[in-house]
Amino acid sequence: MTRTAALQPRARAARAANAVPRRGRRHGRRQWAWASLMVAPMTIGLGIFYLWPIAQTFYYSFTHSGPFGGHTWTGTANYRALADDPTVSRAVVNTLLYTVIQLAGIPLAILVAALLNQKNLRGRAVYRVLYFLPAVTMPVAVAMLWRWMYDGNYGLVNYLLSTVGIHGPHWASDPGVALYALAAIGIWMSLGYNMVIFLAGLQGIPTEYYEAARVDGAGPVRTFLRITVPLLTPNIFFVTVLTMINSLQMFDIAYMMMSTPGSSAGAANPALPSVRSISYLFFQKAFVEHDIGFGAAVAFILVGFIVLMTLVQFRLQKRWVHYA
């Protein structure tokens, strides 16, 4: 008892030393309340405009909806119908092919960025603005421009080909070339944005590395491959993920390029089956044919592709991305 009584004052002193002052606790709660208040608008907006529509679309994918509303639970019928619908498999192939072509345009952006990063290049700022303009131009204006350029009778592309004796096709309506024509537009639109990302990476590379390479007798090509490209891999990874996500969601340019006066969502264009993407198929099923349930199932196929490919990219980045 005597020993216990002797230890009690020490225990009380230790608890008093470790206790948080009441004023400090009130200050911490006040800070937490203000932080929650500042974050609340964005959190509420995220829940209303992002999370709730996603949950609602997921629910609709298990239902059948009529043109006048009403949802009937059908279980996995829509997902089973996806496997039997040839337009779905064709849309998946079109989307993946378009994505691969877009990824092949990334080296072009690196090359343009490397050229515009030369200090002895006159008018560098003008060139950068010109290359970046397509990235900030409205898709409607881009579609109008390229529909004229791709016109089979009086378009600029076929006119230039005719000067060397080549008879060009109808780029926007020929099923054999329409997807590649749209992919060229996508590369043209994203080139400026990707170029800016790579320019930022190039300007962050220490000049000492290039000076050491010159001392060792390395030429421009070897310097580019052994120094520039490895140190640009974080930027390449970022652009690759972003390009992949944007390409998988390809819709606006395809819709405007395929649409013709008097038609519905490009229905009269013979090239539509060869360019119809997953997003385009979702729009067609949900808002043209009013099959909300099937369209929602198509949308979640797209979500699955985006999540899967993004996870694969992040999984593989440790093998080839070098952070200085």
pLDDT for the residue numbered 8: 57
pLDDT cut 90: percent of the chain above it? 43
CA distance 306 to 225: 30
Read off the tokens for 233.
């891999």
Predicted confidence (pLDDT) per residue in 8-42, tens digit: 555 555 555 555 455 556 667 778 888 888 888 88
Predicted confidence (pLDDT) per residue in 232-282, tens digit: 999 999 999 999 999 999 999 999 888 765 555 555 688 899 999 999 999
Read off the tokens for 146.
């390229």
Domain ranges (residues) in the chain:
19-59, 77-320
Hey, is 63 helix, strand or coil? strand
DSSP element (H, E) containing 321: none
Q: What CATH topology corresponds to 77-320?
A: MetI-like fold (1.10.3720)
Answer yes or no: are the C-beta atoms of 255 and 266 closer than 8 Å. Answer: yes
Answer yes or no: are the C-beta atoms of 103 and 244 closer than 8 Å. Answer: yes
DSSP element (H, E) containing 24: helix 22-46
Q: Please tell me what DSSP assigns to residue 137.
A: S
